[in-house]
Amino acid sequence: AQSVTQLGSHVSVSEGALVLLRCNYSSSVPPYLFWYVQYPNQGLQLLLKYTTGATLVKGINGFEAEFKKSETSFHLTKPSAHMSDAAEYFCAVVRSGGSYIPTFGRGTSLIVHP
Amino acid sequence: IAGITQAPTSQILAAGRRMTLRCTQDMRHNAMYWYRQDLGLGLRLIHYSNTAGTTGKGEVPDGYSVSRANTDDFPLTLASAVPSQTSVYFCASSVTGVNEQFFGPGTRLTVL
């Protein structure tokens, strides 16, 4: 079985500050990893993904994430927060092999203060 | 190109009634999914289909059924709605199970 833990249901930062959203996963086999963003009253949109290859992945809107196998982590970062980054962020894992059932974390709400 | 559409946008339903939520994609994706989103619980997978003609149970399948008669459509049926099924329901699709998912706009369902 696989699981995803997102530390902190809410993260609050000032505009211009570093954004760090944490995601840890458990999987017995190499996973595929995703970050999605959800703006109010909308569906989810892909921010970035890791499948194979380079462990530092760059996504849209200046976000990036690093796959650290030894730490089973896939934390999302952005050097400088913008007001428009305020949204709900979800980390997701899909196991390689098997039935490819996705598992989502519970989400982290990013609050950006002016 | 519409991508993935869901209907209805919202619905208020009496307990015990039958309801089908519709989901259609025009991207020819093989895999489709149904999730429910509840405050504090994130997204929970209800049912999924890796290809037309096959379906599987997710984390919270009880009280829900699905069918995948063709590639484009993946309806979710509540046979006899209960108040605990009040939620926002999202349909998603992906090329295959390991690719990113594309989400519909959601259906807000209230069961009274």
Each residue's pLDDT tens digit, B28-81:
999 999 999 998 888 999 999 999 999 999 999 999 999 999 999 999 999 999
A67 DSSP assignment? E
Tell whether B44 is within 8 A of chain A (Cβ): yes
Each residue's pLDDT tens digit, A28-84:
777 899 999 999 889 999 999 998 888 899 999 999 999 998 899 999 999 999 999
Q: What is the pLDDT of residue A5?
A: 94
Q: Which long-range contacts (CB under 8 A, 24 or more apart) does A58-66 make?
A: A59/A35, A61/A85, A63/A19, A63/A35, A65/A23, A65/A33, A65/A35
Return the structure tokens found at A54: 């380079």
Q: Do B97 and A101 lie within an 8 Å CB cutoff? A: yes
Residue % of chain A over a pLDDT of 70: 97
The DSSP secondary structure of B48-99, one letter per residue, reads: EESSTT--EE-SS-TTEEE--SSSSB--EEESS--GGG-EEEEEEEESSTTS
Q: What is the pLDDT of residue A109?
A: 96
Work out the average pLDDT over A84-104.
87
A1 pLDDT above the threshold of 70: no
Mutate to test the interface with B, among A33, A100, A103 (most CBs of B within 10 A): A100
Work out the average pLDDT over B83-91.
97
Counting every residue written for chain A, the total comes to: 114
Tell whether B40 is within 8 A of chain A (Cβ): yes
B15 pLDDT above the threshold of 70: yes
Task: Quickly state the pLDDT bin for A98 (edges 50, 70, 90).
Answer: low
Say which of A32, A43, A100 has its CB closest to residue B50: A100
Residue A35 bridge partners (DSSP): A48, A91
Q: Which amino acid is at B32?
A: M
If interface means Cβ-Cβ distance under 8 Å, which residues of chain A face chain B? 9, 32, 34, 36, 41-46, 49, 51, 90, 92, 94, 96, 99-107
Task: Quickly state the pLDDT bin for B1 (edges 50, 70, 90).
Answer: low
The shortest C-alpha distance from A58 to chain B (Å) reads: 15
Task: Quickly state the pLDDT bin for A2 (edges 50, 70, 90).
Answer: confident
Q: What is the pLDDT of residue A53?
A: 84
B101 DSSP assignment? P
* Nearest by Cα to B112 from B11, B7, B9, B28: B11
Q: CB under 8 Å to A28, separation ≥6 — which residues?
A: A2, A95
Q: How are beta strands A19-26 and A3-7 bridged, if at all?
A: antiparallel
Instruction: Assign 3-state DSSP to chain B and report helix, strand, coil percentages, each to 5.
Output: 5, 50, 50
Q: How far apart are CA A10 and CA B52, in angstroms?
A: 38
Residue % of chain A over a pLDDT of 90: 74
Q: What is the pLDDT of residue B100?
A: 92
Return the structure tokens found at B2: 């519409």
Handedness of CA A91, A96, A102, A103 (dihedral sign): negative
